[in-house]
Amino acid sequence: MIVSLAGGVGAARFLDGLVRLLRPEELFIVGNTGDDAEIHGLHISPDLDTVVYTLAGLANAEHGWGIRGDTFHCLQSMGQLGEDTWFQLGDRDFATHLWRSNRLREGWPLSRITKEMGARLGVRSTVTPMCDEPVRTMVNTPGGELEFQEYFVKRRARDKVLGVLFRNSKEAKPAPGVLKAIGGASGIIFCPSNPIISIGPILSVPGIRKALEKRKCRSAAISPIVGGKALKGPAAGMMASMGNEVSARGVARLYQGLVDVFVLDREDRKLAPAIDALGMRTVVTNTIMTGLAQKKALARSVLKALENE
C-alpha cells in the first residue's frame, strides 16, 4: 500500500499519474480538510473533492477545481436572492455538497461519507479525510483571523500572513485506518502540495506526525515550489510571509525527519546539495505536470526512489 498525503490541485494531478502505475486499490490517500468551509449552509471539502473528482475522471482540468463542463445556474440564482457568490460552486458540484451535508446531518462521519462518495463515483483507491473532526485552518493577518477560504478565495490572498493556526486540531483524531495504513505502508508520498496549509493540517492531527516519524518504509516528498514560485495556489506568498525561504530547500526544511527522498525540479538542481545536507536523498526530475505523460513520469520517478535508495 502506498500512502499519500494530499492537498488539492497539485496533489490531484500527481495522483492522477500515480494511480495508473498501481492497482488503484493499493493507493491510500489522506486528504487535507483544514480548508473545508460552510457555504450556503453546506459543508464544502475542496481538497477531498478535487482528489475524488480527479480519480473519478470528472475533474475540470482547466480550473483545477470543480467538475468538467459544469454550469453555475444555482449560484447565479443565489446571487439574485442576495447571497454572496464569491465561492464558485457549479451545479453538479452542488450535488456533492448537498449530499455530503445531508449525510453529516444524519450523523455519518466525514470519512464514511468520503469513502461512500468515492465508491459511488467509481473511485477504487481509498480517499479519506485526515480526521472526522472539523479542523479549520485559520490565517492570522494584520486585519485579524480569517478562515482559509475567506483569506484565499474571497480576499484573493492579498493579506500579509502573520501565522497559520489549525483550529481544533488538538481535539482531532486520525480518521479510521490512517495510522494503520501509515504503519503498514510500503511507501509514503507527500504530494506536491502547500507544505503549510495543505500538508500542515494533516501533520497537526495528533498521532499522524509521530506515525510518519516511526515509519517502517521510505517516504518521499515532491516540491510544490519550482524556481521560487508555487505552481498553483498561495504557497509561495504564505511561505515568505511566515519567514520561510520560498524554494524547494525551504519546503525540504519543513519536512525534516519525515521525508527520506526529496524530489525537486530540474530548474532547482543547484539546490540539491543543500537538501542532501538536510539528510534527504534528492531526486532531480521534471516536476511540471503539463499532461498525463509528465504526471506518470513523475510518479514513476517517485515510486522508483521509494524502492531503492
Binding interface with a copy of itself (CB under 8 A): 40-42, 67, 70-71, 73-78, 80-83, 90-96, 98-99, 101-102, 105, 117, 120-121
Q: In angstroms, give the least distance from the CB of 9 to a copy of itself.
A: 21
Reading the block at residue 192, the C-alpha cell is 506536491
Those residues with Cβ within 8 angstroms of residue 13's Cβ, 6 or more apart along the chain or in another chain: 54, 192, 289, 295
In whole angstroms, give the CA distance from residue 226 to residue 288: 8
Taking the least distance from each CB to a copy of itself, the nearer of 77 and 256 is 77
Taking the least distance from each CB to a copy of itself, the nearer of 149 and 204 is 149
Taking the least distance from each CB to a copy of itself, the nearer of 73 and 216 is 73
Taking the least distance from each CB to a copy of itself, the nearer of 74 and 274 is 74
Q: In angstroms, give the least distance from the CB of 95 to a copy of itself.
A: 3
In whole angstroms, give the CA distance from residue 283 to residue 209: 23
Q: In angstroms, give the least distance from the CB of 117 to a copy of itself.
A: 7
Those residues with Cβ within 8 angstroms of residue 86's Cβ, 6 or more apart along the chain or in another chain: 153, 154
Taking the least distance from each CB to a copy of itself, the nearer of 106 and 309 is 106
Kindly provide the b/e burial profile for residues 183-211, where b requires at least 16 CB atoms within 10 angstroms of the residue's own CB.
Answer: eebebbbbbbbbbbbbbbbbbbbeebeeb
Q: In angstroms, give the least distance from the CB of 230 to a copy of itself.
A: 31
Q: In angstroms, give the least distance from the CB of 82 to a copy of itself.
A: 5
**Looking at the chain, how many residues does it have?**
309
Torsion of CA 75, 79, 83, 84, to 10 degrees: 80
Taking the least distance from each CB to a copy of itself, the nearer of 50 and 96 is 96
In whole angstroms, give the CA distance from residue 159 to residue 40: 24
Taking the least distance from each CB to a copy of itself, the nearer of 117 and 251 is 117
Task: Identify each DSSP E strand in the chain by its residue range.
Answer: 2-6, 27-31, 37-39, 42-44, 126-129, 136-141, 144-147, 163-167, 187-190, 219-222, 225-226, 229-230, 261-265, 281-285
Q: In angstroms, give the least distance from the CB of 104 to a copy of itself.
A: 10
Q: In angstroms, give the least distance from the CB of 287 to a copy of itself.
A: 33
Contact 56, 124 (CB under 8 A): no
